[in-house]
Amino acid sequence: MGQCVSCLDEEKKQQRKEEERLAAAEVRARAAEAAEKRQEQFEKSAAGRAARAQQQSLAKQALNSNKGEPVLKWQMGGS
């Protein structure tokens, strides 16, 4: 009889672990959904559009500022 009780306890533990795993997965899915919705709202907002425009202008500046020249120039000898 002692073995049966320990078997039932083990089954309950495993069942509880599985329920906790499923609940955690559901919580993560809901959090990801909420984050995606917040991101979409931000992108539609004036602040989101301004942030995107700023990122694009910084990217253009980065492409145009270098023009093939090395960023750091090194020369031998002293002046």
Per-residue pLDDT tens digits for 32-78? 999 999 999 999 999 999 999 999 999 988 777 656 666 677 777 75
Q: What is the pLDDT of residue 66?
A: 59
Per-residue confidence band for 2, with pLDDT thresholds at 50, 70 and 90: low
**Cα–Cα distance for residue pair 18/12, rounded to 1 Å:** 10
Find out whether 73 and 64 touch, Cβ atoms under 8 Å.
Answer: no
Is residue 11 scored above 70 in pLDDT? yes
**Cα–Cα distance for residue pair 50/48, rounded to 1 Å:** 5
Is residue 3 scored above 80 in pLDDT? no
Provide the CA 27 distance to its chain's centre, in angstroms.
16
Mean pLDDT of 16-20: 96
Q: What is the pLDDT of residue 30?
A: 98
